[in-house]
Structures are given as C-alpha cells and as structure tokens.
Structure 1
Amino acid sequence: MAAQTGGKYQFLGRSGLSVSNICLGTMTFGKAPGGHPAFSSPTQLDETKAHEILDRYAALGGNFIDTANMYCFGQSEEIIGSWLTKQKRSNFVIATKCRAKMGDAPNDVGLGRRHIIQMCEDSLRRLQTDYIDLYQTHCWDYAVPLEETLRAFDDLVKAGKVRYIGVSNVNGWQMQKIVDTAKSLGISNVISLQQQYNLLCRHSEWEEFQVCRNEGLGVMVWSPLKGGMLTGKFQRGEKPEDSGSRIGHVHKNEKTAISSCPAWSWYAEDEGYWNLVEIMKKAAANHGKSVPQVALKWLLQKNVVSSVIIGVTSIKQLEDNMAAGEDWCLTQDEMTSLDQATALPSTYPYNQLERMNTGRSNPYLSLPFVENVFK
C-alpha cells in the first residue's frame, strides 16, 4: 500500500504532504444556474447541508478537501471558503483545479499563463485563504505549450500562493511528458495525479499509474463508486428512476450521462457487472461491511493510491464511506476475486511485456511493471 504517516493519513506520493486516505470531494456542493447537467441533480447540497458534511468529515479526522473552480461555477469553492473561515486553516489540505471555461471571453478557458494566474486569484478569493495546498490542472490542454503551463504553476509556488502542483485526467504519454518537462526546466514538479479509477474503470493501470509508480507520484482516485454503480443498491431488472440517486436522475435523461455518472443502460444487461456485484456483496458479508466500503477498500489496498475521493450527499453516506479507511483489509483471495472479475483484456504490447518480464526484477531499480501496481 501507499506510504503511511500513521493511522488514516498517508503521504501524497513522495512529497512531505500528509493527507487523509479518504478525501472529501465537493462537486455536490452548490447548484449551477441554468440547470447545467453536471450540477443539476436533486442530490446537490446547499451551503447549510454542505457545512454539516464538512463538520462531520473534520470530526471523523478528515483533513483533505478537493474541489475545482468549475464545480457549480465557483459555488463549491465559496461554500468551502465560508466554512474554512471558522476553522484552523493549517489543519486542512485544500485542493482545487483550473482549466475549464469560466467566462465568455477568449482567455476564460485553458492552461495559458493568463488564465491560470487569474483562476488562482479567483479561487483564493472564493476559498477565503491566502494559499492553495494542491493546485491541479483539470485536464490536458492541446492549445497551450506545456512549458507555459508548468512555468505559470511554478511562479504561483514561488509567490507562495500554491504549495504543491498536481494534474488530472491525462493519458500515459502526457503524464510522462509533464514529469520530464518539469525536470528539464528545473522547476516545481507535480506530486500527484487525480484520475478516475474504480472496479469498472481500470485502464489507467496500463500506462498512467506506471508513470506514477516509477516517478513517485501519488494517485488521487475520483469516482470510486462509478456514480453509484458500485454501491450494490440496484437490483437486476429494476430501473432506478425513483431511487433518489444520480443514476436515477440520469436514467430519466440519458443524454446527460458522463463517465463519472453513467447511464443505467450501460450495465443493466452486463453479466460481468452483476457477477462483480455478487462478489462485492459476499466480501461485504464476510467482514460485516457495506458494498461501498468494499469498493473503496479495494482501491485503498492498491499501492499506487494515496487517497480516495468520495462525493456524498448525507452524513450517513459520509460515515459509511469514511469507515472504509479504518484498519481492516480485504483478504488476498477477495482482492484476487475482484481483480479477476474486472480484469483488463490482455492485449499487446502489455501482454508481451508481462510475459517476457515474468520473474525478472532488480531491487535497485524502480519496482517492476505489473505486480506492484495491480496488487
């Protein structure tokens, strides 16, 4: 598992930053005007309910809060900011992101210097703080030179407005290029990758996580429950319209389906999915835990993962999810069953790399390819 500092806290990659192994995601804070599909679910929280979630998260020992400027177009950051003013700032690690379109002008989007600097200033104002612990790119930008992006982030670190740099939603070659470019420029390097990863989305194991493992980057996992598909609450043949869930909300209008909140139809007739649900239920029963806790624990037992980001809409959900970070483990047989039920197809060149390197490793080099990420 990832390097630990003790109890529920782990280092974020090889940095000296200690974070909760369960991070509170805040995309559910606020409600976007105009009914934006990503933030119009009936499960979105107003400030009062969001502050209740934040209070309980802190009481349970959580110190890591993740947001983004685009979440409800700044409302999420504002809600966190109004709560943060009533806390001891140094007790919490605040992470946010930039890149998304935040206005109608040509320079109101992307990872150019002008946009990055302005978005950082705007986030600091909304968060009511004078520094951001972890500032992250929200996605790769094909329109801006990487050197410009990284130098702008480095300048924010030098100015004391940002403590650490991270990235999100990139592919393998992009991740390696980010690391190598920062090294060649002699500037602040990234310490983390925030990536979708769950039992139904494992493709980052092939490339991106290999870079993270070899370079010492911590992985922050988003959508660990695949928008609710890994909660075990749904039954075969029963449509989720009236479940009060995001999946149910999307089911009524599948045009709004996205990777983190999939359409019910994507899995309704998938035998592999229902087999996975049964394996998860069995493991949950073995440990006296819930199905979501099994899905989260599977992630926490992957050695590349530093923290798992949860998105909750109630205190009950929060407490259940946080319990996944406590001191209990899935057995090796259970991990193997879950791994095998959701295994990626063995395809070239990965199958040949694995076959020709079986049993071949050097303890003085970075840990070998498959076994140290997938187990």
Structure 2
Amino acid sequence: MHFRHLGNSGFKISEITYGNWLTHGSQIENDAATACVHAALDAGITTFDTADVYANTAAETVLGEALKGERRESLEIMTKVFGPIGPKGHNDVGLSRKHIHDGVNGSLKRLQTDYIDVYQAHRFDHFTPIEETMQTFADLVRAGKVLYIGVSEWTADQLRAGHTLARELGIQLVSNQPEYSALWRVIEAEVEPTSRELGISQVVWSPIAQGVLTGKYLPGQQPPEGSRATDEKGGANMIKRWMSDDVLNRVQQLTPIADELSLSLAQLAVAWVLQNDNIATAIIGASRPEQVVENAKASGVTIPTELMSRIDEVLGDAVERDPSITATRSPAQREA
C-alpha cells in the first residue's frame, strides 16, 4: 500500500480508503461488513471513511465495532456531518454550531474513539453562515476532538471561502470529497485547479462509477442478481445513470487496456483515478472481502500516458464533465 499527504499538511493517508456508504448497516450484514474491514486492514489500508448519515448512524456503529482493538495511532478515521439523522428534527441537519456539536459527539461515541482524524462538512450549507461553521470546526480542533477539517462536494468558490476562513482561524482545511471517476470528471475544470492552488487534496468517492467500470454489467442484459443495480435500498437509483448500452459497450472496450497492464477493469478504474496527483485517496466500498483485496492492488500502479489517452478515446462523450453539477449537490432547501 502506498501513502500520500493530505493537502499541504504533514498527514498521510493510504492511497486506497475503505468506505461504508451503501453497505454497512444497510446493504450487508454486520459480520460481512466486519470481514470487509479486516480484509482492508490486511491489504494495508489504514484510512476509513464514513458519515453519520449513512444508514442513519448505523454505519458508524458498525465501523467502530469492526475497528475495536486496532492500534488507534495506526488508523486514519474520517467521518462527516450535515445530513439529517436521528428523528430528523429541525436542528438535526446542516452545519449550524448545534448540529455540528451534537454530530461530533455522536460520531465519537459510535466510532469508539477519542478523536476524528478528518471531520468533513458533507455538503455546503446555504442556510448557516460559513463563519459559524468554520468557527465551530476550529473549536473542535482546539478541543482535540478533530485533527483536520475537510469538506465534500463544495464548489471552487465555496472552497476558496472556507480556506480563507480556516487560515484566519488557524486551522487546516485539507480535503474535498467529490465524486470522481473516468466517467465522471466534473471537478477537473474548476474544483481541482482551485484545490491545487489552495493546497487541498481530493478524497474521491465512486472511482468505479458505482460498479459500472468493473465491466460486470453487460449491454443488452439484465444486471447480475445481487449486484448494486438490483439493490432497491439505494444502489439501483445511484447506478441507473450509467446503465445505457452505449456506456456499457464503451466499458467493455477498456478490457484490452486492462489486460495490457495485467489489471482487472476494477483495478484499472481505481488506478486511473490515482494517476491524478491532486487525488490523495480513492474510496472503495465492498460487500465481499475479495472485492477489497482486488481493488487495493490498484495502489502504486502507473498507467502510461498513451494508455491514459486510449481510455479517453474509448469513453469519449460518455464522460460527464459539466462543472456546474457540483453546485447542485448541496440542497437548496432544508430536508428537515
């Protein structure tokens, strides 16, 4: 396993992060989730990403149990705050001082840890002054509950505003967590250049495009039974944008490139993301331990420039590049 610095900090994380967004506490049983976490540890993964909103706090609880007994100093635990949790009352959402305060204390208990390595604003809050949010984060850092601050799916302008306030408050905004894959490149035009300028790394989710880039979904055929595309708890809805025959045909055409590198299509997809040096880590999820083992092997892989160009040619106009999409990721109205 290779490691990279997170932003301009001295803090390192593993190139592959194990995340439990759609799995722990919902899609798979707890014993299977624990087996996946242990497989990640065995593969050299030291960084784990979750959020209080995943399975309405259950995902954090499962991860905390799975990591119990591990040397805390050897782990990097990242979680997030913003989404509606608990009974989803009027203060159970957003980035107000109250919700962040309640959120961090709940996360610490569920994760069974004294501190969170990177605490992330899961979305931008249009209804709370950013000054209130960043001051609260700064207080958590000074209290020792949080070491670094990150965000998720913030626009370039939002990143710039947050970074300015963080510096004024004497804390480090080190990361942004966007969706990013060979099929989804909306950060490349604005978010990524701004992040490079500010010393912010990307912690990217869905590097295999919800599983589409693994090649297991074939054009003209029904999705395999038990796959994410058949999961009515949320997976099917997330993946449906990629399920056209055009996209699936293009993915199949990546097979010779993967073969040339002695990689599976999934490994190729994760390795593709890691060719970008503004990417600190790629978050992988899994429902089976063997998936973790396979994807972890993408760490340290170098894809030659000519093969990167061939990947671009194959995927062509199936790639989503519209930078305006990032602004739509943060809700324009309250969910609670």
So what's the TM-score if we normalise by structure 2? Answer: 0.89
Q: Which residue of 1 aligns with 2:231?
A: 249
> Given the alignment of the two structures, is residue 26 of structure 1 paired with residue 20 of structure 2, yes or no?
yes
Q: Give the counterpart of 2:163 among 179, 202, 224.
A: 179
Show the counterpart of 2:333. Answer: none
Higher relative contact order (CA 8 A, sep 6+): 2
Q: Is the 8 A contact 2:151 2:176 kept in 1?
A: yes
1:165 paired with 2:149, answer yes
For the residue of structure 1 that corresponds to 2:61, the secondary structure is helix
**Residue 311 in 1 paired to residue 311 in 2?**
no
Structure 1 residues 346 and 117: CA distance shift in structure 2, 3 A: closer
The amino acid of 2:222's aligned partner reads K
- Once the two structures are superposed, residues 50-75 of structure 1 have per-residue CA deviations (whole angstroms, 9 ceiling, x without a partner) of 11111121111110000000111111
Which residue is 1:237 aligned to? 220
Q: What does residue range 283-322 of structure 1 map to in structure 2 within 5 Å?
A: 283-322=257-296
Q: Residue 324 of structure 1 aligns to a residue in which SS?
A: coil
Q: Mean Cα displacement is larger for which, 104-113 or 63-72?
A: 104-113
Q: Which residue of 1 aligns with 2:134?
A: 150
Q: Which runs of 5+ in 2 are unaligned?
A: 324-336
Contact 1:283 1:330 in 2 (8 A): no
The aligned counterpart of 2:330 is none
Asked if 1:115 corresponds to 2:99, the answer is: yes
Aligned to 2:307: 334
Pick the aligned partner of 2:50 from 67, 72, 86. 67
Q: CA RMSD in A?
A: 2.1
Q: Is the 1:198–1:225 contact (alpha carbons within 8 Å) kept by the matching residues of 2?
A: yes
Deviation readout 1:265-307 (Å, 9 max, x if unpaired): x54232xx24531442111111221001111111011121110
Q: How big is each residue's C-alpha offset from its partner over 1:236-265, in whole Å with a ceiling of 9 and x where there is no partner? A: 11121x431111335xx9x9755xx2216x
CA distance in 2: counterparts of 1:96 and 1:347, whole angstroms: 27
Correspondence 1:1-375 to 2 at 5 A: 8-31=2-25, 39=26, 44-102=27-85, 103-183=87-167, 185-240=168-223, 242-249=224-231, 258=237, 261-263=238-240, 266-270=242-246, 273-274=247-248, 276-325=250-299, 327-340=300-313, 341-342=315-316
Do the aligned partners of 1:280 and 1:295 also contact (CA within 8 Å) in 2?
no
Asked if the contact 1:151/1:187 (under 8 Å) is kept, the reply is: no
In 2: Cα distance, 1:135 partner to 1:209 partner? 20
Give the superposition deviation at 1:30: 3.4
After superposing the two structures, state which structure 1 stretch, 295-304 or 167-176, moved more: 167-176
Shift of the 305–268 alpha-carbon distance from structure 1 to 2, 3 Å rule, reads same
What code does the residue aligned with 2:45 have? G
Residues 157, 314 of structure 1: alpha-carbon distance in 2 compared, 3 angstrom cutoff: same
Percent of aligned pairs with the same residue? 33
| C-alpha displacement of 1:203 | 0.9
Deviation string 1:115-167 (CA, Å, 9 cap, x unpaired) is 10110000001111110001000000110000000000000000000001000
Structure 1: runs of 5 or more not aligned: 1-6, 32-38, 349-375
Deviations 1:323-353 (A, max 9, x none): 111x4322211111223434668999xxxxx
Contact residue 200 and residue 342 of structure 1 kept, 8 A:
no
The aligned amino acid for 1:83 is: A
Name the CA distance, whole Å, in 2 between partners of 1:346 and 1:73.
31
- Letter of the aligned partner of 1:262 in structure 2? I
Q: TM-score normalised to the size of structure 1?
A: 0.80
Partner secondary structure for residue 150 of structure 1: helix
For residues 277 and 112 of structure 1, do their structure 2 counterparts lie closer, same or farther at Cα, with a shift above 3 Å needed? same
Pick the structure with greater CA Rg: 1
- Judged with a 3 Å threshold, the aligned counterparts in structure 2 of structure 1 residues 276 and 15 are, in CA distance, closer, same or farther, namely farther
Question: Which AA in structure 2 matches 1:333?
Answer: E
1:288 and 1:227 mapped to 2: Cα distance? 22
Partner SS state of residue 62, structure 2: helix
How many Å apart are 1:180 and its aligned residue?
Answer: 2.1
The letter of the residue matching 1:91 is S
Q: For 2:322 and 2:102, how far apart are their aligned partners in 1?
A: 44
